[in-house]
Amino acid sequence: MCRFLHAAHGKKPLSLREDFAGPAGLAAEWAGQSPAHTALAVDIDREPLSHAPASARLKKKVADALRCRDRADIIALFNFAAGEIHDRRRLVAYFKVLRASLKKGGIAALDIYGGSNAFAPGSLSTFARIPGGRQRVRYTWQQVAADPDTGMVENHLHFSIGRQKWPSAFIYKWRLWSIPELRDALLEAGFSTVETYDRLGDAVDQHGNLRIRPVSPEKGRPLDDDFVVYLIARK
């Protein structure tokens, strides 16, 4: 993800702010790239932030991301965090604060899912190995309920290791914004352009730079029926 953000920015960004950071996985990865990279993890809940790794280049801030004004080259809100804001007026207001917090040439990065089954109940499971161990964690994303009339969805995250199970370890009730809704809100907030990416990179050039390109349905590259995309909003 960090390589994608570097490529999307286009210059040499060094500072990143992760809003709705939880345990600050992205911020920690960013800060660990070099002694020059710094990150700020922002979350209103102190408990998940307490699990972020200790680092002189990673700062943690317990605060409402909607009002945070700490400046950075890149401000990221992933894991569909924009859905935590249910009202469009508040969404635009947050995007205005976010834009004002970006340094010159900065970008905001966020993700969203959608497609033909976006409002259909269902589940998807994947496995991840515990670092330094042989055990695998089964991770299940379940969409329990969805209302296309209001755009509200309820998603649960379940985890299991062998016979140990943690059902509904996390429960999210959020607004599933569409790509056009998010793009319009970002532009209304003052961003100059908003690009859509459906992958984190195509290839690496001879100089070691990651090649990324936005989705362009006009050029024969439409989105899949079900998708996760990344929006890059430029100041």
pLDDT in the model for residue 220: 63
Mean pLDDT of 205-224: 76
20: left (phi over 0), alpha (psi -120 to 50) or beta: left
Q: What is the pLDDT of residues 12-54, one digit of tens each?
A: 999 999 999 999 999 999 999 999 999 999 999 999 999 998 8
Q: Are 129 and 96 in contact (CB under 8 A)?
A: no
Tens-place pLDDT, residues 215-229: 876 666 788 889 999
Amino acid present at 130: I
State the Cα–Cα distance between residues 200 and 26, nearest whole angstrom: 14
Sheet holding 136-147, edge to edge: 122-129, 136-147, 152-161, 164-175
3-state secondary structure of 176: coil
Gap between the Cα atoms of 89 and 122, Å rounded: 30
Q: What is the average pLDDT across 145-149?
A: 95
